[in-house]
Amino acid sequence: AQSVAQPEDQVNVAEGNPLTVKCTYSVSGNPYLFWYVQYPNRGLQFLLKYITGDNLVKGSYGFEAEFNKSQTSFHLKKPSALVSDSALYFCAVRDMNRDDKIIFGKGTRLHILP
Amino acid sequence: NAGVTQTPKFRILKIGQSMTLQCTQDMNHNYMYWYRQDPGMGLKLIYYSVGAGITDKGEVPNGYNVSRSTTEDFPLRLELAAPSQTSVYFCASSTGGAGTGELFFGEGSRLTVL
């Protein structure tokens, strides 16, 4: 069965430092991968996706993600963290049996310390 | 554009009561989804629809019903509310299937069953 794992419940990073939020996946075939962000008391917002092509995907708010097929990972990165990046981040993968469904990870809470 | 609008934002129900969570989108999206979010559990798909008149079960459909009589509206009905249905509910929509593009989320409906 396909799945995504976010191994860290929480990540703390000092403002200005680079940040990484980890995601690994398990699917048969080529994965379609997504990152979403949730700010407090709001719905999720799309950040970026990988379907095919360049392994480094650029998204909203200066975020990027690196697809690594050999390590089955899709880590979210940003070169310099902002306090306003503090939020809950979800990795997701397409259900390989249905194009119309995705499977979300449990989420990683990112705290950017001033 | 309003995007995806959910009502109510908050509701307290007594065990055994019923209610409907409303969801409407003004983006002419064919695909609509209902998720529930529980702490530390990510998002679980309750029901989804690929177009007016078509609905299908997700991972956790028990205790819920949906209908899709128009492209814009996708209400979620809770029958005989139980404490296990205490959660935050999110409606989402997309142009294509969730596994190919961006999901647009509403701001959520927080339901407490006492």
More confident residue, A99 or A38: A38
More confident residue, B61 or A53: B61
pLDDT value at position A29?
Answer: 82
Interface contact A98, partner B, CB < 8 A: yes
Interface contact A36, partner B, CB < 8 A: yes
pLDDT, tens only, A58-67: 999 999 999 9
> A9: nearest CA in chain B?
B40
Q: Which of B41, B99, B101 sits opposite A101 (nearest CB)?
A: B99
More confident residue, A26 or A100: A26
For residue A27, pLDDT over 90 is answered with: no
Q: How far apart are CA B9 and CA B91, in angstroms?
A: 12
| Strands B10-13 vs B109-113: parallel, antiparallel or unpaired | parallel
Parts of chain B with a pLDDT under 50: none
Tokens for A108? 């990683």
**Is the Cβ pair B107, A106 closer than 8 Å?**
no
Mean pLDDT across A1-12: 92
Distance of CA A47 to the CA centre of its chain: 8
Contact B41, B34 (CB under 8 A): no
pLDDT value at position B1?
Answer: 66
DSSP A62: G
pLDDT value at position A2?
Answer: 82
pLDDT, tens only, A66-113: 999 999 999 999 999 999 999 999 999 988 777 678 899 999 999 999
More confident residue, A40 or A14: A14
